[in-house]
Chains A and B, each alone.
Chain A
Amino acid sequence: MLLSSKNLSVTHPGQKKLGFPDFELEKGESLLVLGNSGSGKTTLLNLISGLLKPHTGSVLLDGVDLNALSLQEMDHFRGSEIGIVFQKPHLIAAISVKENLQIAKSFSRKEGQNVDSLLAALGLESKTNSSINTLSEGEAQRVSIARALVNSPKLILADETTSSLDDENTSRVIQLLKNQAENIGAALIIVTHDQRVKAHISNFIEVKSA
């Protein structure tokens, strides 16, 4: 088992306890986390990526209990083993496309992928040295996917990646993420309220606020 989550819950100050369903994923498998706005999908993503500590439960990634890691160990682990694709690309505008990937590589202890090859695989070979401000929305999103993949992580997390895309682009992005996850043998979790994604990933859980 590559990834497993058991009895995860969190309590925000002044709010009720928020619990999440258990799940398990093998290498190359995908999971869809569905839920309405405010249901706690992003909180689950933050728990799985170690950005938040749960009150109860555990997340095991490749045998490593994320709760057992110190803050600094978690930062290193996340940099090496977890790739996150955000709703908006959120690239660093001060540096070029290639440098956005290189900085992500610099935080990892792993060899990872060749930046130029990865950009070429995502159809961005002509944008390698481009400034972020010159990219189209689609190009920026592909760069953010490349950034999540550059360290060949064991887990890829995508947060509302398709919510602002049309059907065609939604299909293209989901397929791209699935293919890349399979290529590097990573588990893929897509967190979204977008029901269209169900057409591409049949394995899903639903998060509901209590």
Chain B
Amino acid sequence: MNLIKLSWKYLTFRPLSTGLNILLLALGLAIMTVLILIQDQFEKKVTTDAKGIDLVVGAKGSPLQLILSSVYHVDFPTGNIPMEEAQKLAKNRLVKGVVPLALGDNFKGFRIVGTNYDYLKIYESLPKSGSLWEYPFDVVLGAEVALQTGLVVGDSFTGSHGISVGSHDHDQHDYKVVGILEQKGNVLDRLVLTSIESVWLTHDESEQETDSLSNASSLISVNHEKFHQKVAQTGFPVSDQPREITSLLIQYRNPMAAIQLPRMINSRTTMQAASPSYEMARLFELLGVGVSLLQGLAIVLLGISGIGIFIALYNSLKERKYDLAILRAIGASRFQLFFLVFLEGIMLTFIGALIGILLGHIFLQILVNQNDSGVVAAFESWVFLKEELWLVIYALSVGLLASMIPAFSAYKTDISKQLTRG
């Protein structure tokens, strides 16, 4: 039996008070842990997913929406842009490279993105199994999509219209899985990639359904020839009619482009240009208010728990004055009594900190489980950051402060007076 064990026994002797104080502290720390984890992973994801993309060009509307839908694939696109106009822009001397994107469908909530091989080059991603798409309706699955849907190379599936779950199926033609990408921890993990031609043909067939049956039969036969033609691996697909794409990812040729290109696109074309870095900085600024509020709430909770620990220790000290006097009488020094009470505060906050951090990770895991295909779904809940160590230190400081006065009071216990009172 030593002081550490005695402190622990005192804590467990009043389980309700101890439990409530730990819970209060743990909740405050859990909120802080979730915020730290989300902020860290969100920032990393945002940076990783936008790496190599200087500018996004799409239909006029909200620039943030354009970035979210075309870079992070979490919002609805602002509309479509004429491919002809996009092709003209690609030839601009300030443009080093372009990647066209065509959105519109999903499979079980995972977006089907029509693009070319250059999109994979941005993320330095290669197929882990199978190969890249060569013909219309060939698809390559992101690693997370393959994992969650259980699809393997050679399987087929029917895509659904729209970019979220619950839309009607495009049952005219199935997609065929020809490859699965390696897991890179970026946006590609949650996408189904195919050629732009696949997206066009799918929607052509949908439109034909609404036409008269006699016209449809002749058009379908024309389209079926296109199913067996190889798709464009780079640049824009060849088309014999005016086509649209959803957006264009642009890489600048030189720093001057950052100044001239967005202004030129926004003022002289029917399209809009948005910079991922600028828009995400703006988003962080907006989110920052909410994060600050939550952080404030967590700090208030920690403050309350600190006061709670102080009150609990102080009250228990009043009940234990005679115990402390007895301990002195049987040989404990004043410093040992100080240490005894101090240890209780430290143990309480240390346990609270550990439970709080664990709760934070569990909360994040629950959030991840509830999101199948969004950005949150890609978060890793069991990654531990060094900032969490600071949370433990912060909690211990709260415990240290809260136990200081009760510990000093124990230190100053007038042993003979206390024993005389009996």
**Hey, which bits of chain A sit against chain B, CB under 8 A?**
42-43, 46, 49, 51-52, 71-72, 75-76, 78-80, 84, 86-88, 90, 92-95, 99, 102-108, 147, 151
Contact = CB atoms under 8 A, between A and B. Distances in A.
A107 B332 contact: yes
Interface of B: 1-3, 5-6, 9-10, 12-13, 322-323, 326-336, 415-416, 419-420, 422
Contacts of B327: 92, 103, 107
A88 B329 CA distance: 14
A75 B334 contact: yes
9 contacts: A46-B416, A72-B333, A86-B422, A94-B6, A95-B6, A103-B6, A103-B330, A106-B2, A107-B336
B325 to A, nearest CB: 8
Contacts of A78: 329-331
Contacts of B420: 42-43, 46
Contacts of B9: 94-95, 99
A88 B422 contact: yes
A108 B2 CA distance: 12
Given A95-B1, A99-B1, A103-B1, A51 B329 contact: yes
Given A52-B416, A90-B322, A95-B6, A107 B330 contact: yes
B416 A75 contact: no
Contacts of A104: 330-331
B31 to A, nearest CB: 32
Contact of B415 (A43, A51, A80, A151): A51
Nearest to A95: B9
A43 B9 CA distance: 32
B6 A75 contact: no
Contacts of A80: 331
B413 to A, nearest CB: 11
B333 to A, nearest CB: 4
Given A51-B416, A106-B1, A75 B13 contact: no
Given A90-B322, A92-B323, A99-B9, A108 B331 contact: yes
Given A72-B335, A92-B6, A93-B13, 8 more contacts: A46-B416, A79-B332, A86-B326, A86-B419, A90-B323, A92-B327, A94-B13, A151-B331
Contacts of A46: 416, 419-420
B188 to A, nearest CB: 58
B236 to A, nearest CB: 78
Contacts of A72: 333-335
Given A46-B416, A51-B419, A52-B416, A147 B329 contact: no
